[in-house]
Amino acid sequence: MGIESYLHEHIPLSAAMGVRVRVATPDRVELWLPMAPNVNHQKTVFGGSAAAAATLAAWTLLQLRLERAKADDAQLVVQRSATEYKKAITGDFEAVCTFDDDAAWASFEQALARRGRARLTMEARLIQEAHEAVTFAGDFVALRNRCVR
């Protein structure tokens, strides 16, 4: 099953939002989203859709890194996030998340192996027509052998 199909099946909101996966690697995730299912009464992207798209890009990248590390049995949840809306999004847009901090990843993996729990802060950006419109920072927690409530 491809990552786009996985997202649509396991996170149904992604299908309703029209999410399409353009790039999905452990170092970079690019999601494309159409305006139509994410529009608000002002004919701009609804803030909740923007926050969800950014969260999804970061979550997907972390999930791919966990799979590569053979730790995909861990449950990955967002603990806290902050979204800054710099510019209204008035059309189709992209959610982009990149990660290249090897030291942070090594600490994350060690904590997960040792304690069964690890936390990592991720950043994502929403881009429309090559302009950054939204920034996102979220703390994600991976939990092994625990029930998430």
pLDDT digits (tens, 9 = 90+) for 68-120: 999 989 999 999 999 999 999 999 999 999 999 999 999 999 999 999 999 99
3-state secondary structure 100-117: CCHHHHHHHHHHHHHHCE
pLDDT digits (tens, 9 = 90+) for 2-34: 999 999 999 999 999 999 999 999 999 999 999
Q: Which helix (H) or strand (E) holds 59?
A: helix 47-68
Percent of the chain topping pLDDT 90: 95
pLDDT digits (tens, 9 = 90+) for 123-139: 999 999 999 999 999 99
pTM for the model stands at: 0.94
CATH class of 3-143: alpha beta
**Using CB atoms within 10 A of its CB, is residue 146 exposed (0-12), middle (13-18) or buried (19+)?**
exposed
The residues, ordered by sequence, that sit 6+ positions from 86 with a Cβ below 8 Å of its Cβ are: 132, 133, 134, 135
pLDDT of residue 52: 98
Answer whether 135's CB lies under 8 Å from 84's CB: yes
Residue 147 pLDDT class (50, 70, 90 cuts): low
Q: Which helix (H) or strand (E) holds 149?
A: none
Domain ranges of the chain: 3-143
Largest CA distance in the chain: 49
